[in-house]
Structure 1
Amino acid sequence: MTSVANGIRVAIDGPSGSGKSSVSKKVAAHLGIGYLDTGAMYRALTWYCLDRGIDLDDLGVVADAVTAMPLEMGTDPSAPSISMGGTRIDADIRTTRIAEVVSKVATNLQVRPKLQQRQRELMAQIAADQGGVVAEGRDITTVVAPDADVRILMVASEAARLARRSKELHGGADDAAIAATRTQIVDRDKADSTVSSFMSAADGVVTLDTSDLTFQQSVEAVLTLVERARG
């Protein structure tokens, strides 16, 4: 494949808690290539708008902010970072304040094509500069990079996804932690599913169900697909 010669591009989509972020970072680190968290770009835009007092319901103004915001994506899979005009906002975009409203931005149909173009350009730049890229998000396999060398839809049962994200956010998976996590997982997926299909694979996209896989098994499954593409 020509694109492999210019830097392999791996696209991984999936719902929250499927393991796509942690697996993508590990795969990129193993391969010695760059990593791009496209979901963080929607969170960063949300942060930018709130920071500047932009009404998230003003669709056109929010869309204009895509090109205005001075977003910088750190692509080291061992230490990815998100900065806005030189200021790190990694922790800020992961707060409940952002999580509760990011779907307003992610479902803005004027925003999506603009951010998708930025993601497309970033993937090409990272692949060329670092020998490849693993990009993960919602519609990377179908819209942003339908011609990627490896395209994977990573899924998991709702129970598995809730347990994983609950441990990540609250340090455990008891009933209280699961309940506190449910809104962020189920409601976010429900909202995002109105503008993006990430529970069923498009033609040519490999479905990887991680419900019963360990983290390492999930990583190895992706690496096997990458080796096939390279071979």
Structure 2
Amino acid sequence: MANSIAIDGPAGAGKSTIAKIVSKKLGFIYIDTGAMYRAMAVHLTRLGVDGNDFAAIEANIDSADISIGHENGEQVVYLNGENVNSQLRTEEVSSMASKSSANAKVREKLVELQRKQAKTTDVVMDGRDIGTVVLPDSNLKVYLTASSRVRAERRYKEMIEKGEQCDLDTIEKDIIERDHRDMTRENSPLKKADDAVEIDSSYMTIEEVADKIISLYNNL
């Protein structure tokens, strides 16, 4: 039976960054769930499906087999055995992903595929409901959080470095509102699993958080 680490938490807590480091250090596969949604969008786009036609989307999702692997140290997304990395960021695929990801049947299919891979491969997966819904039997569940102010400051710094105009208070307000939406949504709301270890990364470095998770895993 394969091993898995589930990392959940609010937006801006550093989940993806931490998950990638942890997976690399442990030799696990990092499951990029967002990339899987884009691979599904590639599949639907190739079939000429209208992104606004939910019935057509639902009729074509079962013919897609999507998984994550690595080649030469790089993450690779496979669609029916084909490396589709080069097609994940096109404008057409981005538009389709935005529309198709809102479909409950698409989500159900991808959760099924994520669980399928986790049964045979050691994985680290991050999101909002990995430990509560997607992989409830994970060896280690982590709820990674940070204060809304710290998360806003991180986002502010990223935007300033990109040359974008932004306001720290506005960013924090948006983060607080997003937290509320994520925690109160009807389907798979964001919440800490009962058996998850909570880590507040507000005053920790990325490496400190990663090392903490690895230590927790090694001491199971």
Smaller-chain TM-score bracket: 0.7 to 0.9
TM-superposed CA distance for 1:94, in Å, is: 8.1
Counterparts of 2:55 and 2:134, CA distance in 1: 21
Alignment correspondent of 2:77: 82
Which of 48, 56, 70 is the equivalent residue of 1:61? 56
The aligned runs of 1:65-214 (5 Å cut-off) are 65-75=60-70, 78-84=73-79, 86-89=82-85, 92-93=88-89, 98=94, 102-126=97-121, 132-161=122-151, 164=154, 172=161, 176=165, 194=185, 195-198=187-190, 200-214=191-205
**Which piece of structure 1 moves more, 70-79 or 113-122?**
70-79
Deviation at 1:75, TM superposition (A): 4.4
Report the 3-state secondary structure (helix = DSSP H, G, I; strand = E; otherwise coil) of the residue aligned with 1:135: strand
Report the CA distance between 1:158 and its aligned residue.
4.2
TM-score for the superposition, normalised by structure 1: 0.73
Question: Which digits, 9 at most, give the CA deviation of each residue in 1:172-224, with x for residues without a partner?
Answer: 16652679xx6xx86987776633322x3121122222233211111012112
1:150 corresponds to which letter in structure 2? L
Distance 1:66 1:192, change over 3 A: farther
Q: 2:25 is aligned with what amino acid?
A: H
CA radius of gyration, larger in? 2
Letter in 1 for 2:198: T
* Mean Cα deviation higher: 138-147 or 53-62: 53-62
| Residue number in structure 2 paired with 1:3 | none
Supply the RMSD in Å over aligned alpha carbons: 3.6
Structure 2: give runs of 5+ residues left out of the alignment: none
Counterpart AA for 1:221: K
Q: Provide the aligned length of Structure 1 versus Structure 2.
A: 213
Contact 2:29 2:69 in 1 (8 A): no
Alpha-carbon spacing, 1:75–1:188, altered in 2? closer, same or farther (3 Å) = farther
Which among 17, 24, 31 is matched to residue 29 of structure 1? 24
2:161 counterpart SS class: coil
SS of equivalent to 1:93: coil
Q: Contact 2:144–2:201 (CA<8 Å) still a contact in 1?
A: yes
Gaps of 5+ in 1: 1-5, 127-131
